[in-house]
Structures are given as structure tokens and as C-alpha cells.
Amino acid sequence: MAATNSDHNQTDAAVKDVRISRISSSIRVIPDFPKPGVEARGFIFGPPIALALGAKFVPIRKPNKLPGEVISEEYSLEYGTDIMEMHVGAVQKGERVLVIDDLIATGGTLVAAIKLLERVGADVVECACVIELADLKGRDRLGDKPLFVLVSSTC
């Protein structure tokens, strides 16, 4: 018996559902996280995705983590404010950008990254996160920017 394209698609969907379920069941919620000083978890995902897309990877970091000249954007947190920085000249006017992070909670870091990129004339076409803490409604702060999420979780 020959497999049809729809059989293949159903098999792919079933395998994906199993993987998503395993990822979702592995997520732990840790009260009061993140703690000061913990950052850069999105770096695990950005470089391999950029490589797969044939795109460059541009880090956007907390203050004083990048060498050389940077531009910065202040943003609000649940517990105060912080700053995101990007190298001057790392992104050119008109470049299409996918912003990747490990997690979206209140949306502050993604909004700051979008503002930095748009200030230099980049076109942010989508954001992608592994985990969304849906109860915190960070997605609502992104305006019309599409958001791809692998796993949505409640707090």
C-alpha cells in the first residue's frame, strides 16, 4: 500500500503533537523567577534558527554585556525598569527581522527589542518564543506583530 501525502502529513502532525506535549510537560514554573542577573536564555535558540534561515544573528542584551558602541532602549518590568542594548550598525535600514526569545511574560523585552530595531529602520516581521505565560498578556503589548509560540502555559 502506498502512502499518500495526507498520510504523511497526519504522521508529521502526530509526531509534532507528541514532541510539544513532552516539552510542555517538562516546563517548571518557579515562583519569583527571573532573579536579578539571570538573562540571555534566548541565545540558545537564536543562532541555530538564524543558521537554518540563512540569516545573521544579532544579539540584543542587557546593559554592559556587549563590547563597542551600542544603542539602548529602556523598558518596564513587573518590578522596575531595565535596558536592552544592540550594537550600532548591526542591523541596517530595511532589513527584515525575526525577534527570538525563550519566553514571553509581560512582553517588556520583546517590545524593547522591537523598538530598538525599528529605530534603525528594520522591519520586524515576527516574534517567536518557546514559552508564553499567557496569563500575563505580554502578547497584547506587541500590537500588530505576529507572535509564534511553541508552548503556552498559565502561571
User: Could you tell me the CATH number of the domain that includes residue 45?
Assistant: 3.40.50.2020
Q: Has 22 been annotated as catalytic?
A: no
- How far, in Å, CA of 113 to CA of 36, rounded? 19
Q: Would residue 129 count as lying in a domain?
A: yes
Is there a contact between 61 and 88 (Cβ–Cβ < 8 Å)? no
Q: Would residue 82 count as lying in a domain?
A: no
- Strand positions, DSSP E, 24-107: 60-61, 70-77, 80-87, 96-104
pLDDT of residue 77: 76
Q: Would residue 51 count as lying in a domain?
A: yes
The identity of residue 125, as a single letter, is: V
Is there a contact between 151 and 124 (Cβ–Cβ < 8 Å)? no
Q: What mean pLDDT comes out for the span 43-60?
A: 92
Name residue 99's beta-bridge partners: 127
Among 19, 41, 96, 119, the one annotated catalytic:
41
- How far, in Å, CA of 102 to CA of 81, rounded? 20
Share of the chain above pLDDT 70, in %: 78
pLDDT of residue 132: 94
Among 22, 28, 69, 78, the one annotated catalytic:
78
pLDDT of residue 30: 58
- How far, in Å, CA of 107 to CA of 94, rounded? 24
Q: Would residue 56 count as lying in a domain?
A: yes
Q: Would residue 117 count as lying in a domain?
A: yes
Name residue 18's beta-bridge partners: none
Question: Which one has a higher pLDDT value, 83 or 43?
Answer: 83
* Structural domain total, the chain: 1
Q: What mean pLDDT comes out for the span 126-133?
A: 94
Task: With a cut of 80, say whether residue 68 has pLDDT above it.
Answer: yes
Q: Has 78 been annotated as catalytic?
A: yes
Is there a contact between 129 and 148 (Cβ–Cβ < 8 Å)? yes
Task: With a cut of 80, say whether residue 155 has pLDDT above it.
Answer: no
Share of the chain above pLDDT 90, in %: 61
Does the pTM surpass 0.85? The reply is no
- How far, in Å, CA of 150 to CA of 1, rounded? 34
Q: Would residue 13 count as lying in a domain?
A: no
Question: Which one has a higher pLDDT value, 41 or 143?
Answer: 143
Cα 26 to Cα 29, 106, 116, 129, 136: the distances in Å are: 10, 22, 33, 16, 20
Q: Would residue 9 count as lying in a domain?
A: no
Parent domain of 112: 39-60+89-153
